[in-house]
Every structure is written in structure tokens, then in C-alpha cells.
Structure 1
């Protein structure tokens, strides 16, 4: 089975990850790439300042970049679109594609918390795709919009889902986030070298709200947020890729650290092409200094979550978790949602 796909905003940092991850994908065939009007009409090689650590696939390098509008891809016979647009642009650009009948798996942050938009991690809440039916009824379009969460949220939530069996009540998290999360022009070298920045605009709110939506329950018509309190402090540090997070989880039960490690290791993955066999890799007490971004961000080709440093606290447990922010936390997450959309018959 081959599904023809397109990328909205294909020349940026996340767009380039999409290109890399879609090369030789077992299901998806790249058929269209879009970008700003300035890039339209150029070959992808000419339009993109390529920065990914593998070469541009030869067939993509010579593809013509087209404008980001439905008419420009009308002849490409695309079944599914991946969006890596800035949220300010996506707010205006995504709706015309949805009205035109396209299914869009989007990494952009707009509409993530909308009541009729699935915010999905396939291993966590695949049933939330049922919101698509609500969305189509309420908005009157033939297409469908699915979002993946913020890169810092997606690092933590799988571990919280594993802990929910112990009665998850509250979460405090402090993040150490890589510079690639800000995009290629997001943080200058003079700002970040020999430094750490203890604030990332909007990031704390995304972690605090998206986590509760992802862990919430869907009754077929309406989604209810998880009732755990989530408080986040987000920090930028001078690592290239890989978000490391220090999590303190309050639990109703009082599990031993070994039970917490076992629950994380046993948490079920998804039966999809891009999902790892074991979603969460967990380091034991003999390796308290892991995970580390440089050593562990490429676990499961960058699509897995890594945890360690599990210890008991007076209210629950503390631990560290890590994921590759532009693979699992961005392009790879959208591709995985695309695979779920195919599996569930929405594409």
C-alpha cells in the first residue's frame, strides 16, 4: 500500500526532518513540497538550506517547490499532508486545505487545545482520533486536522501514562531543552554559548495543558482532561538535540522505584511502522547519570523515550526522561500520527 503525501513548509528545520524520515518510508510516498512564495518555482535543492546530517534524497532534491495553497498541489494526487508551518502561519494556511478535503497531520501548535481537534500520541491515546467525527460535524469540512504535542510534552507524557496505574495526582517538571527546539534562527550563539536561559516563551503553558489533554478520556462525543495538576519550568541549554527533563510525580500509591521502572518498561508501544518495539527504555539504579542527550537521544532511531534516575520521594517518585526533540518531538510524531490515520481508515 502506498499513500501519497505532501509537506507544508518543507524547507524549514522540521520540514527537513520530514524529508529525511520519509525517505524509503514503507507506506508514504512524497509527492508535493510547499514553502513560502519566495521559494515557489525553485527546486527543493535551491530552496532549502539543508542542515540535516544526511544528504537530500536525490528524487526530492529536484522536486519543484510550490506555494502553500490547495490549488498548487491539486495535480499531485495527495492523500495526506504533514504540516511543519509556524503556528502563526498555520492558523491561516491549514483551514483552506481542510475545507478542500485534505487530511492534515500537523506539528504546528495552533488548535492543539481545541475541543474538537485530536492531540495524539498513538501509543497513548489513539482513541482520541474519534474527535475527527465531532470536528467534521462542527466545522463542516471534509478534511481532518490532527495535532501532535509540543516536543517537551511528548518527552514526558509517555512516562506519565505508565505511572497512571499508581494514581497520578500532580506533576512538577523542569526541562533542559536543546537549541534545535527553537529552530535554526531561534537562539543566537551569543545568547546560548556558556549560558542557560531559564525561560522559553509559551513552553510552560503547553506542557501544563497538553499533558492533561493527552492523558484525558474521550467518551465518543467529548474529551475530559486528566485531573492531575501539572507545573512546568522550561530552560534552554547549549545542547544541539535532545530534551532532558527532571520530573517529580505525586502518586496516590507508594510504589517502589523498581515497580516504577517495570511499569515504564512494560508500557505498550503501537503496532505502527515508526513506533519502537519498546517505547520507553529505562536505565537501572547502577547508571544514575543516564539518560544524557548526546548518548541517548537516538534510541530507537530517535523515536523512543529514555528514562532513568528513578527514586522515591515523600509524595511519589522523581526521575529523568529524554527524547529527540525534532524526531520524536516533531516530524517523527506527525508521521506516526499519519500512520495511525491510515491504520484507522481516515486516509
Structure 2
């Protein structure tokens, strides 16, 4: 069993790491780290717990440490905010740690894999080009994860030429305390800082191809408009797709249903069905469907043909589970299984 540390353990994403790593068959939480204000306190005293389960007993009385590379562990899971994550994660990598990061700081670095395991697990080979004592693997933006998981079976079956996506993103994506209630109640905010830029670049790296020691980015056109809406958890995506080959509804649904690329690896956090097609015209909905697959499945619905090479659909991703901690944890599981083969 590998010992793991969580950086940023008191935040919303850090709490999801605690939830999913508690009792994990591969990993054991050996350290929790957070800001200097939390360091030295018991975790139960330092954290403002927001999940609808109790704080796991195994970490409740654990003393919170500083985010410094003197922690006894095999792997590090980083839930640090992007504005401070870069130099802290760098210090751990220089000290020889393997870091699985949810932050944006290193996602587009040439030698850093940006991975959603069901989509581009082979990109982990990019780690061989990292010349540092340790290694770093990143996962994408929360909305990007939902988008590329829905696009991958389409890309494999029909090719992609053009994507337009409009997001309706939950307030938990802004962290805690997030968006002020007077700003978001009875309102929609049609701007999320840096979000559209991430969604227009990250999918091209993820859905690109690994050539030697670099990623050749995908060449399809992608445009994004991101909105914050008064939903607690669950990002909705309205996606318009133009494909290279002709499509029909039956083939699209089959592509979604047949998409199960990780089943042979038996990863504990991987859902049996990573993409779930829901035929009801009113689906998916955050309140009803965000927790399918233990929050790790992306649900899709409202598939509507526009022409022989164009269609639209709606996708839903749980932003703090699959869109954040869950994806990073799955990266860690895949790395552990593959390196021991």
C-alpha cells in the first residue's frame, strides 16, 4: 500500500480527495497539508467540512502540515489553487516526489501529461521526457474533462472537425466561499475567468497524439462560452459537433455505450460506464444524474441530428468529483497499475 499526501486538503477539492482516498485499496493517507493558517491544527479543527458524509476517522485527528517537501509519502495529490500551486508543486517534484495535480499551473507544459485516463492514458509515457528527480501528472479543467470524455467516442468513430460548447457551471467550481449569494441567486453570470481559454486549448492537447517526447495537438476548431449558474454541483455542457464522417443517431448512441476503455485495468475509482447515454428528453439534470457512477461517470442526452455530419447533445459532469479530485486519483491508480505490470 502506497502512502499519499494531500496538498490543499482543507479546500473543496481537497475534501473530495479525503473522501475517495479514505479506505482506498491502493493508497493510504499519510499526510494532510494546507496553508500556514491550518498547519499545526487537527484536521477536524482546520477544515470547514462541506460534504454530506462525516470526516473519516482515519484523518480527523491528523495534524495538518505545511505544503513543504519534507512529507513522508510515495505520491502527492495536489488540490492547491492554481494561483499558488506552481512553485509548491515544483518544489515537490525537485525533491523527488511524484505529483498528481488538479491545478492549471503545468497543464500545458510540453513535457507534462494532461490526462483523462479513459481518453489519453498513453500520454503518461510523456513522463519519460521529464528530467526532474520527481514526476508530475496533471488533469484538465473540470468542464474540459466532461467535454473530452463525451468527445472521445465520437472522435474514434467519426472524427472531429468543429466543436462549439456552451457551459452552465456550478458554483462549487469557484471553491469556497466562491460566488457571493447576491451575485448568483436569481442570476446567470456569463463569464468565468480563464475558463473559456482553457476549454479551447486543453482538449486539443488531450485529444492530440503523442509523437516521441511531445504532443501533436488536435487540429479541430473549438469555441467555448462559459457561464456560472445557481447550481451547487454539476457542470452542464451544450455541445455542437461537426464530424469528419457521416453519423446517425443509432451509431452515436452505440459509440457512447461501447466506450469502456479501462475495464481491463480494474481501477478502483473507474466507473463501469464512463459515459452514460440517457434517452429521456429531460436528461441529464444535475440534481438527478451528477452522482451516477459514484460521481465519476459523464452523462449525455438530448442527441439531435442537424445534418449528416453535424449534431448536438448535452453532457453533465460532477465538477468536484470526476472534474477534479476523482480524475487525479484515477490518474494515480492508472500510474500505479501500469508501473507494476
Normalised-by-shorter TM-score class: over 0.9
Deviation at 1:3, TM superposition (A): 1.0
Distance 1:48 1:346, change over 3 A: farther
Deviation at 1:191, TM superposition (A): 0.5
Q: Deviations over 1:204-233 (max 9, x none)?
A: 011110111110000232210111111000
Deviation at 1:47, TM superposition (A): 0.7
Deviation at 1:92, TM superposition (A): 1.4
Aligned pair 1:320/2:309, yes or no? no
The answer as to whether partners of 2:119 and 2:206 remain within 8 angstroms in 1 is yes
**Aligned residue runs from structure 1 range 97-112, under 5 A:** 97-112=92-107
1:330 equivalent in structure 2: 324
Q: Deviations over 1:275-324 (max 9, x none)?
A: 1111111012xx11100000000000000010001111134110000010
1:82 equivalent in structure 2: 77
- In structure 2, distance between residues paired with 1:210 and 1:29: 31
Distance 1:346 1:151, change over 3 A: farther
Runs ≥4 residues deviating over 4 A: none
- In structure 1, distance between residues paired with 2:78 and 2:317: 21
Q: Deviations over 1:54-83 (max 9, x none)?
A: 100112010010110012x1xx3x110000
Of residues 276, 295, 301, the one that matches 1:302 is: 295
1:61 equivalent in structure 2: 60
1:200 equivalent in structure 2: 192
1:27 equivalent in structure 2: 26
- In structure 1, distance between residues paired with 2:74 and 2:23: 18
The answer as to whether partners of 1:269 and 1:275 remain within 8 angstroms in 2 is no
Deviation at 1:337, TM superposition (A): 0.5
- In structure 2, distance between residues paired with 1:103 and 1:221: 19
Q: Secondary structure at the match of 1:120?
A: coil
The answer as to whether partners of 2:22 and 2:58 remain within 8 angstroms in 1 is no
1:36 equivalent in structure 2: 35
Of residues 144, 156, 168, the one that matches 2:135 is: 144
Aligned pair 1:170/2:162, yes or no? yes
Over aligned residues, Cα RMSD in angstroms? Answer: 1.2
Deviation at 1:269, TM superposition (A): 3.3
* TM-score scaled by length of structure 2: 0.96
The answer as to whether partners of 1:257 and 1:317 remain within 8 angstroms in 2 is no
Deviation at 1:248, TM superposition (A): 0.2
* Residue segments in structure 2 that go unaligned for 5+ positions in a row: none
Of residues 146, 151, 163, the one that matches 1:160 is: 151
1:124 equivalent in structure 2: 119
Q: Secondary structure at the match of 2:58?
A: helix
The answer as to whether partners of 1:150 and 1:329 remain within 8 angstroms in 2 is yes
- In structure 1, distance between residues paired with 2:261 and 2:232: 27
- In structure 2, distance between residues paired with 1:149 and 1:290: 25
Aligned pair 1:277/2:272, yes or no? yes
2:8 equivalent in structure 1: 9
- In structure 2, distance between residues paired with 1:49 and 1:113: 32
